[in-house]
Amino acid sequence: MRPEIITQPSESVLENFQNQTLRPILKQQNELLLAIFRQYVSVRKGAFYKLSETEQLEYISHSVKRDMKFKHYLEGIIAGHFTLEEYQLFLENEEELTKRLINLLVQRLQSQLRLLTK
Confidence of residue 88 (pLDDT cuts 50, 70, 90): very high
Residue 95: which H helix or E strand, with range?
A: helix 94-111
Are 56 and 48 within 8 A, CB to CB? Answer: yes
Confidence of residue 4 (pLDDT cuts 50, 70, 90): confident
Confidence of residue 118 (pLDDT cuts 50, 70, 90): low
Give the burial string for 36-54 (b: 16+ CB within 10 Å, else e).
Answer: bbbebbeeeeeebeeeeee
What does the pLDDT look like over 16-71, one tens digit per residue?
A: 999 999 999 999 999 999 999 999 999 998 889 999 999 999 999 999 999 999 99
**Distance of alpha carbon 69 from its chain centroid, rounded?**
14
* Whole-prediction pTM: 0.89
At residue 22, the pLDDT reads: 97
